[in-house]
Chains A and B, each alone.
Chain A
């Protein structure tokens, strides 16, 4: 009878031993390989620190000029450029300059990592059905699992610091670029692919000459999404020692500092909007050939 009223459970001690077993084996793994893995990520750490220092040590007027130039050439919009300059002036005036630069550095590095890892994975996925069925569930897990859950093993493995923070950001932010690269390549017009095939194009010629260029708008949408998701991870990453706008937000949460939280939160929003507008404009320009001038 009790079978119907009570769910058949694993024994209490068994369950405890089971969990303990997993924890201990992972701890052993960390003990044995943690250092090696840390060394593996050293170049990344070096690059991140270098970029952060570069952003922080460059005089602010130069940074603002560079941002204005980049925004203008990305968007070709005077309005957006003026908006960006004003936003950064306000950010500096409200004493958030250093944190903003630190965030900018980690977002830039995370985006570079995501693009250079994500696009090749997306290409592989588009190439075969099997890799697609293999990788899709992994991406689903990466996107849906609560960030705190994978922070545990990451911190166990690499401790607290910039690299684990960067890793956490990348785990969360990489799925869109992978998915949209895959999708973009798969959506390339079959007739165009057939024509390319009929003219004797090799796999490489098809990939570089037809698939990637035609998938670019989608790939760019992926880059845009990746940047947005990386920005949204800033606060969580600061929990494990990443400097930036997330730190004051965390402080504001634990001390109920309303103004501090809102200000830094809005600074993240400003960065997000700028990245989004500029990258969307670039994406649109990539599709210029689809518009007829007649």
Chain B
């Protein structure tokens, strides 16, 4: 299984301040973030972060502002130097790279999408998209040709010769996304890429990203503070708090088994019906009769189907075979559950 780990972050620490290396032992001994700031004048950015991102997965890192998520993502292409720790990409140690190796890594291996877009205001859309390629040394003409397909796939047709300032936020981020994709890097770093967009546009962009990922299978590390976004996009979600990863798992893991009160608080207002699949509440009883639904159906859709049919539940199917049943009450219970310990996990398996 080691082989398909694309990015491995091991025991990563980042302390901001005048003399971070002297503080590392205190941090390892478990000094609190506020104590470190008040008594030693250093800010704890990342605290023993371990994260393995598998190839072709969309890894979401979620946390509130100040949790260190933007700091974390900037370590992967070394825009920020860590205080201590290891970062391996395809087994290569990023931290031991020379300046030119790192430049080459940034040019070809990992590209980035920014919250504030970071587009070059004096260059047209097509020039922005081909920026990474021109940095690589590709001729302008070839860069334009290779960029043209990305204009198509992010839906910017007809905007090639506009300047960024002439586009709306959503369109600008399409440029940012296309620019990152145009370099053909395996790894896509997305730092709150959609956070600056209004909700409808954001949802659009999420769909664009998912559709592209379906085709491209990149390894994506996506930073967000929005749980809905995290649950919608993430194959795997890591929750960051005060610079430490407090839970890492699939969307269902996080909703059904929140690691602590902090996570519980986080997921309190989430629309669980839209995240949980029927497989999460599936049982196997003979008393339930109803329509057949797929295992991967989300509860929201399943409830629709079941209530339309007037039955007390549904038959869960996988690959054309019955794998279990799901009752109306279980589904309602699952989406209504609001605190951590009301039920034993056995109900939800």
Residues of A at the B interface (CB closer than 8 Å) are 189, 191-192, 194-202, 205, 209-210, 213-214, 289-294
Contacts and interface: CB of A to CB of B under 8 A. Distances in A.
B112 A195 contact: yes
A290 B122 CA distance: 8
Interface in B61-115: 77, 79, 102-108, 111-112, 114
Contact of B165 (A196, A205, A209, A292): A292
Given A192-B121, A205-B135, A292-B165, A199 B107 contact: yes
Given A200-B107, A210-B120, A191 B165 contact: no
A189 B166 CA distance: 18
B266 interface: no
Given A194-B114, A200-B106, A289 B79 contact: no
B166 A202 contact: no
A4 B132 CA distance: 72
Contacts of A292: 163, 165-166
Given A195-B118, A213-B122, A290-B121, A200 B166 contact: no
B103 A289 contact: no
13 contacts: A194-B79, A194-B114, A196-B120, A197-B106, A198-B77, A198-B111, A198-B118, A199-B183, A200-B103, A201-B135, A289-B123, A292-B163, A292-B165
A214 B122 contact: yes
B116 A191 contact: yes
Interface residues of B, number: 31
B106 A195 contact: no
B84 to A, nearest CB: 23
A213 B131 CA distance: 15
Contacts of A202: 103
B326 interface: no
Contacts of A201: 135
Contacts of B77: 198
A127 to B, nearest CB: 16
Nearest to A216: B122
A271 to B, nearest CB: 31
B119 interface: yes
Contacts, number: 74
A10 to B, nearest CB: 44
Nearest to A192: B118
Interface of B: 77, 79, 102-108, 111-112, 114, 116-123, 131-132, 134-136, 163, 165-166, 179, 183, 189
B116 A197 contact: no
Contact of B119 (A195, A197, A200, A213): A195
Given A210-B120, A214-B122, A200 B165 contact: no
Most buried by A among B114, B116, B118, B136: B118
A210 B179 CA distance: 16
Contacts of A194: 79, 114, 118
Nearest to B102: A200
Given A198-B111, A214-B122, A290-B121, 12 more contacts: A191-B116, A194-B114, A195-B119, A196-B131, A198-B118, A198-B189, A199-B106, A199-B111, A199-B112, A200-B135, A213-B122, A214-B121
Nearest to B136: A200
A291 B165 contact: yes
A279 B183 CA distance: 39
A289 B165 contact: yes
Contacts of B179: 199
Contacts of A200: 102-108, 132, 135-136
Contacts of A214: 120-122
A101 B165 CA distance: 43
A191 to B, nearest CB: 4
B166 to A, nearest CB: 5
A209 B119 CA distance: 12
Given A191-B114, A191-B116, A292-B165, A197 B79 contact: yes
A208 B293 CA distance: 59
Residue with the highest number of chain B CB atoms closer than 10 Å, among A194, A199, A202, A289: A199
A293 B168 CA distance: 12
B131 A199 contact: yes
A196 B121 CA distance: 12
A167 B150 CA distance: 54
A69 B179 CA distance: 41
Identify the 9 closest CB pairs spanning chains A and B, nearest first: A195-B118, A200-B106, A200-B107, A198-B112, A289-B163, A191-B116, A200-B103, A191-B118, A199-B132
A196 B166 CA distance: 21
A250 to B, nearest CB: 46
Nearest to A214: B122
